[in-house]
Structure 1
């Protein structure tokens, strides 16, 4: 799901609607995990196919690094495979999945913070900086839209870890407060507070996009 007004402009963040299919999805995940726990590789492949896009997308938005997102997603699913025999469906499978994702992303963030700072030139390279003289083939409207999304992603990436995670899970994965609270190991009221603070920061830093 694209964040265009957070969508840019719709900052009230209503509670996501409950989708009847979610229960069926979780039942399918539980059935697959039961088979994975018994060593069923085909079930594991299906589980990966069902969730890899969401996991890679979440990591990419958390770290702003698509290449690292692929590598970390592999680690997430390797942990799923390794611990499947001991897993019990005490919560939704996606809660378990994104808790592992959160922990790996936080570890990676801390590892990066301990490394020397990347030079300004290197940061430009990571963002796909184009040498002078290279022309874009995209229409101006597409370029402007891409730049807007890049700016939104940059602001989200600058949020504190818990706020960033809450925003991404809420706005991109459409998770309810209760599941986000389980993943972040906090309360629903705390999740709402995190989203409120994130919303305030986003409104302030993206006010030029909102026209006020």
Structure 2
């Protein structure tokens, strides 16, 4: 009978061990373990999808599909890489499929971001309304600029800057080499600096 006892990390390096233990329980049909795994990673997956598609409305649906695939293939899963690498690989494939579907149907989303998802920033003192508006506008400009990057560059930037994945894991997700990941990030940063230069100057 699968254990329902919550698993806790003993250190920062134990997070993947938690995921591995949960996946073993999920493979045995433990729905409670599945719910715990979803709770651990749902925000990261939803946020990643929203940024990759620049469409928060689709993010939760695609995230749900990603976790359903995790549940469906749990018995065949092997911890050859970190679980988050496996999860973001599934997420990336679903997003790419959605992007291709939209491209074929020539559907372009014009929805504005409803929430502030910008780069991580240090804690700040309370801002005046005008400063808050400028801060939000800056984050939106950054998100829009990221959305215009080629898919591989966009994915690399999001996984590195937002999800803090190391080069090695990003390389697995993108099915490429570490040197290629570094090259993608370099080109993406160069493009973003160019596209945001005028706005920064203001």
TM-score interval, normalised by the smaller of the two chains = 0.7 to 0.9
Match for 1:175 among 165, 173, 176?
165
CA contact (8 A) 2:146 2:192 kept: yes
Alignment partners' CA distance in 2, 1:52 and 1:62? 15
Q: Which residue of 1 aligns with 2:82?
A: 92
- Where relative contact order (Cα < 8 A, 6+ residues apart) is larger, the structure is 1
- Superposition deviation, residue 116 in structure 1: 3.3
User: TM-score, length-normalised on structure 1?
Assistant: 0.80
Query: CA–CA distance in 2 between the matches of 1:161 and 1:61?
Result: 11
Taking the TM superposition and a 5 Å limit, the aligned residue runs for 1:1-212 are 21-118=11-108, 123=110, 126-127=111-112, 139-211=129-201
CA shift in 2, pair 1:150/1:211, >3 Å:
same
Cα distance in 1 for partners of 2:156, 2:106 equals 28
CA positional deviation for 1:146: 1.1
Distance 1:105 1:145 in 2: 28
Cα distance per residue 1:105-148 (max 9 Å; x no partner): 00001111111355xxx72xx2279xxxxxxxx92211111111
> Partners of 1:208 and 1:140 in 2: how far apart?
20
1:38-94 alpha-carbon deviations (Å, 9 max, x no partner): 000000000000000000000000011111000000000000000001101111000
Contact 2:113/2:140 (<8 A) preserved: no
Q: Name segments (4+ residues, structure 1) moved above 2 Å.
A: 20-23, 208-212
1:23 Cα deviation from its structure 2 partner: 2.5
Structure 1's unaligned 5+ residue stretches are 1-19, 130-137
Report the number of matched residues.
Answer: 180
Give the match's secondary structure for 2:176. coil
- TM-score of the aligned structures, taking structure 2 as reference length: 0.84
Does the residue aligned with 1:103 lie in a helix, a strand or coil?
helix
* Residues in 2 aligned to 1:22 and 1:183: alpha-carbon distance in whole angstroms: 22
Matched position secondary structure for 1:84:
coil
* Structure 2 portions without partners, runs of 5+: 1-9, 115-127
Whether contact under 8 Å (2:142, 2:196) holds in the other structure is yes
Q: CA RMSD in A?
A: 1.9
